[in-house]
Structure 1
């Protein structure tokens, strides 16, 4: 088999469209989709990597304890399920392991390039680029959409994950240390404020990367959702992947729903059929005007680097106030990360 081509890393913040973009890219010939080796709770089964922190920052070279594991992962040297004697008592388990092993072997044989989807790898993007030559595609999403999505799902963030990484604080958030400590002590009663503050931190990292690495690809979720048929061919061209009819078919299936008012209907976090255009401003139906103003105040100049005044306007006909019935209904709609 030829040497693997350069890995494409799709990262950014969580809830920013990384799954959708990563899976679209992985429709290109001879590509394999690898999911979130930095995930603390659900680590990638293809590797023995185990992260201690959410948004862990890695540094150093081949002497780093995780270097070899990443090298193997990005070189298609993947873990395979091992059969144990106890599996003889559970034929279905043994059959599932054998099928998984055969599927991974076929992928390794026919694929030459990995699309690594992992928003949690954001703070280690430079490390992955310097050590393994990955090509970053960094996703950005409107702060109101991000905070609204976290509130809808009830997702919280323990800021001790950052405070226990002093090198990450020193590099990316030296002026935010006290604010991070205060946020860490507040608990999780204010999901809107917490989400807006987390957005500010993560996008300060993206701003710093944009300053250091203007050659990397930075893609707003809203732009690719509004015009997927135009934006994805351009993205494929920039990362050097062929855009085929298979990609076109997959894009139509995952960016168009029959109901223009439904942003996305999902059976799981990683499987979504969406109306990508309707998905852009769904936060306008979820948030009150006061919540939107508060998010803008918290995200401040960091948000101004990515979004203009008109991007914060609530469209005509979008009510900023919702009944409890509407919010419960929307709990079944997922604007997938």
Structure 2
């Protein structure tokens, strides 16, 4: 059964951020703790197939918005700790089935596809929001080779998202069209424009820099666990196991050598590709290194 206490030590944790920014890596580490249940991407229609024709990735809902009834039901189900068969199968083959099925007193819901719902989730479920950030070149080097959908209209067709956050950046979005590296950078930038605007009034959100986590994972995760009210011993053991990963070729794997992850893009991208990413980020008025108050570092 899910916990009913809403104090800080029992609040659900919503782990999010731009995709390919370390949410899976961090989620599987934090879920190693006793009494923690881990839900993987309940708003991602890949793992919740009934959402496929009704709800898209990166849908935007602010705290004051009313969400569709079907989405409210899915969110309530997730924050009660319930999972689809697809999610449970994933937990089995990724090796965290215990964290998916055993009784729990703390819940981690991890979903970067719902990053633009963080404001709504924070209010609706009294959730502690944890956002991972990653250098935009690292983000781009990860998603472009996977041939992810880099469609920019999925953002600009959301009228309220444009009204609340993106209107000043429409020229930059238009300039990014047609080049996959610029489009990836524009997606990174749009997500972070929203997050930075929301952080102005969300002082309790915790921001974790992926590169900092990878450079000093045990200390950083220990500090994060203390802020979240989690015991750090089991997560630190998980870190040591992942740090000696076999470098397997699974493109979705979190089991990669930790020290190699932060700046692998420097050997993957050409200078022209790096320039395309950084120029687009600058076009949004952003820095590739986001310095946030509330960081776990």
Question: Which range moved further: 56-65 or 209-218?
Answer: 56-65
Residues 242, 151 of structure 1: CA spacing in aligned structure 2 closer, same or farther, 3 A cutoff? same
Q: Distance in 1 between matches of 2:43 and 2:100?
A: 21
Q: 1:44 aligns with which of 26, 44, 48?
A: 48
Do structure 1's residue 17 and structure 2's residue 5 form an aligned pair? Answer: no
TM-score normalised according to structure 2 size: 0.81
Do structure 1's residue 56 and structure 2's residue 59 form an aligned pair? Answer: yes
Q: Distance in 2 between matches of 1:296 and 1:128?
A: 31
Do structure 1's residue 253 and structure 2's residue 232 form an aligned pair? Answer: no
Q: 1:171 aligns with which of 157, 164, 183?
A: 164
Shift of 1:154: 2.3
**Paired position in structure 2 for 1:327:** none
Residues 44, 296 of structure 1: CA spacing in aligned structure 2 closer, same or farther, 3 A cutoff? same
- Is contact 1:61–1:131 with CA below 8 Å preserved after alignment? no
Shift of 1:125: 0.3
**Paired position in structure 2 for 1:84:** none
CA shift digits 1:182-239 (9 cap, x unpaired): 65xx45xx22111112111111122112222122100110000110011000011111
Q: 1:243 aligns with which of 228, 232, 239?
A: 232
Gaps of 5+ in 1: 82-95, 259-263, 308-337
Shift of 1:130: 0.7
Residues 292, 8 of structure 1: CA spacing in aligned structure 2 closer, same or farther, 3 A cutoff? same
CA shift digits 1:256-286 (9 cap, x unpaired): 347xxxxx424351x4322212211111111
Residues 10, 63 of structure 1: CA spacing in aligned structure 2 closer, same or farther, 3 A cutoff? closer
Residues 17, 305 of structure 1: CA spacing in aligned structure 2 closer, same or farther, 3 A cutoff? closer
Do structure 1's residue 306 and structure 2's residue 287 form an aligned pair? Answer: no
**Paired position in structure 2 for 1:7:** 12
Map 1:128-167 → 2, pairs under 5 A = 128-167=121-160
**Paired position in structure 1 for 2:295:** none
Shift of 1:294: 2.7
Q: Distance in 2 between matches of 1:296 and 1:104?
A: 40
- Is contact 2:47–2:84 with CA below 8 Å preserved after alignment? no
Do structure 1's residue 229 and structure 2's residue 222 form an aligned pair? Answer: no
CA shift digits 1:100-152 (9 cap, x unpaired): xxx99995661122211111111110100111111111011001111111222
Shift of 1:250: 1.4
Question: Which range moved further: 276-285 or 8-17?
Answer: 276-285
Residues 147, 268 of structure 1: CA spacing in aligned structure 2 closer, same or farther, 3 A cutoff? closer
- Is contact 1:140–1:218 with CA below 8 Å preserved after alignment? yes
Do structure 1's residue 295 and structure 2's residue 277 form an aligned pair? Answer: yes
Query: Computing the radius of gyration over CA atoms, which structure comes out larger, 1 or 2?
Result: 1
Task: Give 3-state SS (helix, strand or coil) of 1:139's partner.
Answer: strand
Q: Distance in 2 between matches of 1:192 and 1:108?
A: 40
Shift of 1:247: 2.1
Task: Give 3-state SS (helix, strand or coil) of 1:176's partner.
Answer: helix
Let me know the Cα RMSD of the aligned residues. Answer: 2.9
Question: Which range moved further: 279-288 or 109-118?
Answer: 109-118
**Paired position in structure 1 for 2:294:** none
Task: Give 3-state SS (helix, strand or coil) of 2:204's partner.
Answer: coil
Residues 26, 44 of structure 1: CA spacing in aligned structure 2 closer, same or farther, 3 A cutoff? farther
**Paired position in structure 2 for 1:317:** none
